[in-house]
Amino acid sequence: MHSGTSMAEVKKKSRIAIVGGGLVGALAACFFAKRGHQVIIYEYRSDIRMENSHGQSINLALSFRGREALKAVGLEDVLINHHGIRMQGRMLHDKKCNLKEILYDSVKGNCIYSVSRRHLNVVLLNAAEEYPEVQLHFNRKLMDADLEKGKMKFLNTNTGMTEDAEADLIIGADGAYSRIRRIMARRPLFNCAQTYIEHGYVELSVPRRKDNEFAMKGNNLHIWPRGEFMMTSLPNEDRTFTGNLFAPFHVLQELKTPEALLNFYIEHFSDFLRLIGKEELVKQFFERKPQTLISIKCKPYHVGKTVVIVGDAAHAMVPFYAQGMNAGFEDILLLDELMERYDSDFAKVLPKFSEIRCDDGHAICDLAMYNYREMRDLVTRKSFLLRKFLDQVLYTLIPNSWIPLYSAVHFSRMSFRKCITHKEWQDKVLRTSFLCFTLLTFAILVVPFVRNII
């Protein structure tokens, strides 16, 4: 895994401080250590491998962008073939308990994989620790930093002592509420906007059947679209499902009593209620508070040649396109590609990363917002299903030219901005084609009638 390095290479090695030991931070450690740089991860939490920290709860869907990053450090196989659960499409549940499957890619058979956030984090931390260049420091809370000089102050939450640290490059991988980003926000010409959507979520777990099999079809992302709100469920390796109720806070606030909750589920999600059971639903729902959902856009993603933010620290998004982790992993893959192109010259790598990635980060945040409406509402409309049908027909006939938006996002590395532009082009083609067809039909019907009159 670790090749030898020449004397010329050794001179170029840098000290890398990664603030945040979550998914993206741990992956970044693997990439930079693979290049021979000295890496220290500073993580605010304790080591999740020692303690069963709950952390963030929404299950993860791993797709092409994330897989490509994992492949580059030799981790794709262990996560896809030995852990991930293949999801071939959406399984829609209507109010009458009827099911309809919509495949993600009926042409090429591409799929996404359900993975456990905690398991993935453990695998990445273990992989990072295998590199002798990597050190892991847990229970370290970043207090302040001089970004231009690469200097940081951490509080050791175990001892209460303050520790100084210094690095050639600081990578902020410290999540949606990033301390590094907040320090960057003090600087002129740094733009940052955060949006809390007026919807929250509550996590619910569906147990496996008595025969230890899945209670529902295990190779689908299950969705209960109900217009203003919805439920989703992703399969787990232990044959359970992790479900989430997404709804406006005014809806969630009405569910204050067991009676109100059960009546709500009887009316809107009766098949889910049968699977989880009344007692278990009430127990799970009231033992945790609804969680908020935030979207963050900022620009630039770097400071000089000393600091860069990645993942949720740079572009936190609502979870409805399942691209938060994948986009974060692609950040690291892109950084590595730029490191290769510019021979690890941070003065060239970091500005280029911002130039390429900022607009893409904004685009995927917008797409994630749009997909919430699609999942809870549009998927039930005939116009949406017709568009899906046309997309699949054209994708079958001209797969290299007509790539549906979902496939472009999940099964390619087309830039997110280009995904949107490509979709706008497709919309224009279909509108023009429909107009031409309408005019042609009108001409066929009307011209003979006019001739007869004349």
Residues 40, 18 contacting (CB under 8 angstroms): yes
How far apart CA 208 and CA 203 sit, in angstroms, is: 16
Q: How many independent structural domains does the chain possess?
A: 3
Which domain range does residue 420 map to?
387-438
DSSP state of 292: P
Domain boundary among 292, 311, 340: 292
Q: CA-CA distances (angstroms) from residue 76 to 83, 218, 451?
A: 10, 21, 68
Let me know whether 166 and 180 are in one domain: yes
**CATH label of the domain that carries residue 120:** 3.50.50.60
Beta-ladder partners of 202: 245
* Closest to 60 (Cα-Cα) out of 103, 3, 124, 143: 124
How far apart CA 218 and CA 240 sit, in angstroms, is: 9
Let me know whether 236 and 362 are in one domain: no
Let me know whether 214 and 285 are in one domain: yes
Alpha helix (H) ranges present in 98-236? 117-130, 179-184
* Closest to 25 (Cα-Cα) out of 328, 371, 366: 328
Domain boundary among 292, 326, 355: 292
| Domain membership flag for residue 450 | no
| Domain membership flag for residue 382 | no
| Domain membership flag for residue 143 | yes
* Closest to 298 (Cα-Cα) out of 421, 154, 186: 186
| Domain membership flag for residue 107 | no
Report CA torsion sign: 119, 122, 128, 131: negative
Domain boundary among 292, 319, 339: 292
Let me know whether 366 and 395 are in one domain: no
Let me know whether 237 and 263 are in one domain: yes
Q: How does pLDDT run along the chain (454 residues), one tens digit per residue?
A: 444 443 344 446 899 999 999 999 999 999 999 999 999 999 999 999 997 654 455 679 999 999 999 999 999 999 998 889 999 999 999 999 999 999 999 889 999 999 999 999 999 999 999 999 999 999 999 999 999 999 999 999 999 999 999 999 999 999 999 999 999 999 999 999 999 999 999 999 999 999 999 999 999 999 999 989 999 999 999 999 999 999 999 999 999 999 999 999 999 999 999 999 999 999 999 998 999 999 999 999 999 999 999 999 999 999 989 999 999 999 999 999 999 999 999 999 999 999 999 999 999 999 998 888 777 777 777 877 788 888 888 999 998 889 999 999 999 999 999 999 998 998 898 889 888 877 787 777 776 666 666 6
How far apart CA 26 and CA 305 sit, in angstroms, is: 21
Let me know whether 235 and 288 are in one domain: yes
The pTM for the full model equals 0.90
| Domain membership flag for residue 105 | no
* Closest to 406 (Cα-Cα) out of 35, 8, 17, 61: 61
Let me know whether 72 and 213 are in one domain: no
Let me know whether 23 and 137 are in one domain: yes
369 contact partners, CB below 8 Å, separation of at least 6 = 197, 295, 317, 318, 320
Let me know whether 366 and 402 are in one domain: no
Residues 170, 304 contacting (CB under 8 angstroms): no
**Tokens matching residue 154:** 């951490």
Let me know whether 162 and 265 are in one domain: no
| Domain membership flag for residue 165 | yes
DSSP string covering 357-376, please?
Answer: HHHHHHHHHHHHHHHHHHHH
Let me know whether 174 and 250 are in one domain: no
Let me know whether 174 and 231 are in one domain: no
| Domain membership flag for residue 429 | yes
Residues 329, 24 contacting (CB under 8 angstroms): yes
